[in-house]
């Protein structure tokens, strides 16, 4: 695999330790392992770090890039009206800056989870809101957020639209052109920021993945042919074994995307263990093997520049919400991340250390 020259050095954090709390400095940082192969390793976190110094320290120690999970989303910034509350987002960006780490902002334009007040607007008002939102948020963090997920999840086969486009306020306003509009506006709002087009489901070997992969490839080609500005494609990497996995085919898909002269990032890596049988130790071993196999596969693609996990510990896994919705009486306790509920490294952590540093 070709070494990615210069990337890690440019982005490796200047602060090795973590001011936020006492991180276990006897275990090697994940970002260090990744940097050995020229990869940036990041972690998306959120407001939980403000009340959990140990978790804050874990993020500060192991991530070279800090991202947010929810705080910069449209509905978390503007739940009731266009007036935004940036309190949490400001604190997260400040946390990253305090630790000398670049920030990955998620996400400016997403057709999912629109607050009711946005849905109720007329087309012209939505169009004005679209532009004002991008300008205001990117203007506020201009030069402080290194990379933006500008458009998230343009596709949703469940919506049964031509081209598998996801329905929502932005699609209803502009049609598929909302994607190019968002990217162009983002480039103008902060020319210093790297811009990502982000998609889910491409890992799945079912009809969903079979629909989304060609749709995303077609979209990237269209955007490139029209000289629409963006720097990377984000593949979320929520590894869900129950939907089937074919890592060789996934690498071939990544290579097809890379041929369009885009960088690639894994932007939301975690492993769903809800359908993995056995006790905790057996599930941990299986989850570790999924991390190892997935990372080994994607690292075969020279265009890959970064891997970001969607959280770091089981304690704050989003799969708690999924499990609660599936079975409120006896929710499955997720073991999806490199660190356990107590912030201790699991088999998945050791698998990541071994694979990220193998090149």
Angstrom CA distances, 126 to 121, 155, 169, 170, stand at: 6, 20, 7, 7
User: Is residue 25 near ligand G3I by the rule CB under 6 A?
Assistant: no
Nearer to ligand G3I, 187 or 320 (CB): 320
Q: Report in angstroms how near the CB of residue 196 gets to ligand G3I at its nearest.
A: 12
Q: Site for ligand G3I (CB under 6 A): which residue of 40, 73, 283, 335?
A: 73
Q: Site for ligand G3I (CB under 6 A): which residue of 113, 120, 163, 206?
A: 113
Backbone angles phi and psi of 47, in degrees to 5: -60, -15
Tell me which DSSP letter residue 167 carries.
Answer: P
Q: Report in angstroms how near the CB of residue 323 gets to ligand G3I at its nearest.
A: 12
Cis before 107? omega within 30: yes
Tell me which DSSP letter residue 190 carries.
Answer: -
Separation of CA 225 from chain center: 26
Q: For residues 182-211, which are near ligand G3I according to CB under 6 A?
A: 200
Q: Site for ligand G3I (CB under 6 A): which residue of 178, 201, 294, 318?
A: 318
User: Is residue 240 near ligand G3I by the rule CB under 6 A?
Assistant: no
Q: Closest Cα partner for 219 from 126, 300, 151?
A: 151
Q: Report in angstroms how near the CB of residue 211 gets to ligand G3I at its nearest.
A: 17
User: Is residue 274 near ligand G3I by the rule CB under 6 A?
Assistant: no
Question: How many residues of this chain interact with ligand G3I, rule: CB under 6 A?
Answer: 12
Separation CA 3–CA 346 (nearest Å): 28
Q: Site for ligand G3I (CB under 6 A): which residue of 48, 75, 289, 340?
A: 75
Q: Site for ligand G3I (CB under 6 A): which residue of 68, 236, 240, 305?
A: 236
341: which residues sit within 8 A by CB, 6+ positions away? 313, 314, 315
User: Is residue 321 near ligand G3I by the rule CB under 6 A?
Assistant: yes
User: Is residue 158 near ligand G3I by the rule CB under 6 A?
Assistant: no
In 10 A of CB 26, how many CB atoms?
Answer: 5
Q: Report in angstroms how near the CB of residue 320 gets to ligand G3I at its nearest.
A: 9
Q: Report in angstroms how near the CB of residue 75 gets to ligand G3I at its nearest.
A: 5
User: Is residue 70 near ligand G3I by the rule CB under 6 A?
Assistant: yes
Separation of CA 276 from chain center: 23
Q: What is the DSSP string of 201-259?
A: -TT--SHHHHHHHHHHHHHHHHHHHTT----EEEE--EE-GGG---HHHHHHHHHHHHT
Q: Report in angstroms how near the CB of residue 113 gets to ligand G3I at its nearest.
A: 4
Nearer to ligand G3I, 29 or 319 (CB): 319
Angstrom CA distances, 351 to 43, 184, 281, 339, stand at: 17, 39, 14, 12
Q: Site for ligand G3I (CB under 6 A): which residue of 199, 203, 268, 272?
A: 268
Q: Closest Cα partner for 268 from 234, 225, 304?
A: 234
User: Is residue 104 near ligand G3I by the rule CB under 6 A?
Assistant: no
On whether the CB atoms of residues 194 and 148 are closer than 8 A, the answer is yes
Nearer to ligand G3I, 76 or 339 (CB): 76
User: Is residue 69 near ligand G3I by the rule CB under 6 A?
Assistant: yes
Q: Report in angstroms how near the CB of residue 110 gets to ligand G3I at its nearest.
A: 7
Q: Which residues are at the interface with ligand G3I (CB under 6 A)?
A: 69-70, 73, 75-76, 113, 152, 200, 236, 268, 318, 321
């Amino acid at each position: 695999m070709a070494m990615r020259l210069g990337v890690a050095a440019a982005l490796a954090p200047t602060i090795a330790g973590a001011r936020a709390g006492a991180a276990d400095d006897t275990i090697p940082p994940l970002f260090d392992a990744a940097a050995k192969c020229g990869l940036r390793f990041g972690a998306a976190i959120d407001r939980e770090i403000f009340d959990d110094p140990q978790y804050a320290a874990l993020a500060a120690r192991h991530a070279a890039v800090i991202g947010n999970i929810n705080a910069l989303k449209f509905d978390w910034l503007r739940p009731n009206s266009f007036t935004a509350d940036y309190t949490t987002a400001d604190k997260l960006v400040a946390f990253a800056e305090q630790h000398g780490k670049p920030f990955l902002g998620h996400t400016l334009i997403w057709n999912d989870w629109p607050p009711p007040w946005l849905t109720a607007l007329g087309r012209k008002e939505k169009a004005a809101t679209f532009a004002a939102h991008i300008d205001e948020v990117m203007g506020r963090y201009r030069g402080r957020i290194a990379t933006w997920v500008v458009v998230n999840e343009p596709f949703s086969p469940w919506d049964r639209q031509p081209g598998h486009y996801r329905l929502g306020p932005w699609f209803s306003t502009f049609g598929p052109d909302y994607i190019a509009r968002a990217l162009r506006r983002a480039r103008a709002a902060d020319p210093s920021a790297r811009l990502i087009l982000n998609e889910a489901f491409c890992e799945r070997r079912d009809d969903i993945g079979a629909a989304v992969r060609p749709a995303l490839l077609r979209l990237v080609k269209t955007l490139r042919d029209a000289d629409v500005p963006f720097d990377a494609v984000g593949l979320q990497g929520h590894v869900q074994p129950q939907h089937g996995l074919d890592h060789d085919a996934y690498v071939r898909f990544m290579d097809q995307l890379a041929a369009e002269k885009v960088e690639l990032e894994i932007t939301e890596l975690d492993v769903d263990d809800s359908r993995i049988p056995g006790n905790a130790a057996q599930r941990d071993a299986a989850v570790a093997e999924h991390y190892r196999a997935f990372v080994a596969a994607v690292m075969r693609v020279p265009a890959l520049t970064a891997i970001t996990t969607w959280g770091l510990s089981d304690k704050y896994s989003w799969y708690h919400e999924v499990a609660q919705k599936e079975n409120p009486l006896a929710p499955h306790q997720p073991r999806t991340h490199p660190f356990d509920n107590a912030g201790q490294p699991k088999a998945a952590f050791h698998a990541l250390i071994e694979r990220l540093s193998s090149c």
